[in-house]
């Protein structure tokens, strides 16, 4: 059993026994600080959160209504930054609660962050695996291509929920826009713009029931994701153009003055 000075943040909406089992197994592997955010789940799921609340290693936070995965992650990050001292904790690992991440892979991402303390660590799935539903394979490859086109960075699994965030980057991410799945894309854009090293750690590709339990809405969430990518690209492109024009103007002024 390995003890790591990282906190696991798990956004959760309408969980099942897989979530409870996942947290138990995380504890068995050596995680001692786990934050689960109940993102406005229906009351019929309260007993799962009650079980988790009874675990000394687990803190359960609750949204009164469903606010989205991005907001749930930010709620977890806010609690982390307020309750865990930087001198004792390296950062956080975010993970999904629907069974797509194995505890062993979560530990692998955590240990990679311990090894590369200032990097953003991404747990990367293999979308060529025959277990991956066709719609997810196609969607992931399109997202990867668009992100590479706009930000000159190839990220093989841009929507992975298994991520290792250094302490300072967790603080930065708390301030990012986005309430849903688009928030995680914003995280990647910020990392690229900061020139932060992004480490891709290969993990298992796990899908249950053709991923029918996922709360990702293909049309609505995809529109938000691509809108954020294009809007941010245009925003910073315009800033670069204006900066260039100002520099040229100042340079011309100096020449004329001489």
**Rounded CA gap, 129 and 146, in Å?**
21
For the beta sheet containing 91-94, the strands, ordered from the edge strand earlier in sequence to the opposite edge, are 58-63, 34-39, 6-12, 91-94, 163-166, 120-124, 198-202
Q: Are the C-beta atoms of residues 76 and 93 closer than 8 Å to each other?
A: no
Split at pLDDT 50, 70, 90, the class of 253 is very low
Dump the DSSP string for 81-123: HHHS-TTT--EEEE--SSS-S-HHHHHHHHHHHHHSTTSEEEE
- Which comes out higher in pLDDT, residue 1 or 160? 160
Report DSSP state, residue 57. T
Q: Is the pLDDT of residue 227 over 60?
A: yes
- Looking at the DSSP bridge assignments, the partners of residue 165 are 92
Q: Give the residue among 84, 117, 125 at the shortest CA–CA distance from 101.
A: 125
What the block records as the tokens of 222 is: 């995809």
The span from the CA of 73 to the CA of 20, in Å, is 18
In this predicted structure, what is the pLDDT of residue 217?
74
Share of the chain above pLDDT 90, in %: 69
Contacts (Cβ under 8 Å, ≥6 apart) of 155: 122, 144, 147, 148, 188, 198, 200
pLDDT value, residue 245: 40
User: pTM for the complete prediction?
Assistant: 0.86
Phi and psi, residue 84, nearest 5°: -125, 120
Amino acid 152: pLDDT: 94
Q: Are 41 and 122 in contact (CB under 8 A)?
A: no
Percentage of the chain lying above the pLDDT 70 cut: 87
Average of per-residue pLDDT values in the chain: 88
pLDDT the model gives residue 244: 41
Nearest to residue 128, comparing CAs of 114, 143, 138, 120? 138
Q: Binning pLDDT at 50, 70 and 90, where does residue 238 land?
A: low
The answer to whether 64 and 89 have CB atoms below 8 angstroms apart is no
Asked if residue 107 has pLDDT above 90, the reply is yes
Q: What's residue 209's pLDDT?
A: 57
Q: Is the dihedral of CA 181, 184, 186, 188 positive or negative?
A: negative
Report the pLDDT value the prediction gives residue 140, as an integer from 0 to 100: 84
More confident residue, 164 or 133: 164
Per-residue pLDDT tens over the stretch 130-144:
777 777 778 888 999
pLDDT(125) > 80:
yes
Closest to 15 measured CA to CA, from 72, 56, 71: 72
Q: Higher model confidence: residue 169 or residue 257?
A: 169
Q: Which of 8-17, 74-83, 94-103 has the lowest mean pLDDT?
A: 94-103
The answer on pLDDT for 220 being more than 80 is no
Tell me if residue 247 falls in helix, strand or coil.
helix
């Amino acid at each position: 059993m390995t003890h790591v000075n990282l906190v696991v943040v798990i956004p959760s909406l309408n969980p099942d026994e897989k979530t409870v089992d996942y947290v138990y197994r995380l504890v068995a592997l050596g995680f001692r600080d786990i934050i689960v955010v109940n993102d406005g789940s229906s009351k019929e799921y309260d007993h799962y959160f009650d079980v988790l609340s009874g675990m000394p290693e687990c803190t359960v936070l609750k949204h009164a209504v469903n606010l989205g995965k991005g907001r749930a992650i930010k709620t977890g990050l806010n609690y982390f930054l307020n309750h865990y001292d930087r001198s004792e904790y390296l950062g956080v690992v975010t993970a999904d609660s629907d069974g797509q991440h194995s505890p062993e892979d979560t530990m692998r991402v955590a240990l990679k962050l311990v090894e590369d303390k200032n990097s953003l660590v991404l747990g990367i799935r293999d979308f060529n695996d025959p277990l991956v539903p066709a719609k997810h394979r196609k969607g992931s490859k399109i997202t990867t291509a668009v992100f590479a086109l706009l930000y000159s960075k190839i990220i093989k699994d841009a929507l992975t929920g298994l991520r290792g965030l250094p302490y300072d980057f967790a603080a930065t991410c708390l301030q990012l826009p986005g309430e849903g799945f688009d928030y995680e894309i914003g995280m990647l854009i910020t990392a690229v713009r900061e020139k932060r090293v992004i480490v891709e750690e290969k993990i298992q590709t796990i899908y249950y029931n053709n991923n029918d339990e996922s709360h990702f809405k293909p049309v609505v969430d995809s529109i938000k994701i691509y809108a954020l990518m294009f809007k941010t690209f245009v925003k910073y492109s315009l800033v670069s153009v204006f900066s260039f024009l100002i520099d040229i103007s100042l340079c011309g002024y100096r020449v004329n003055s001489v």
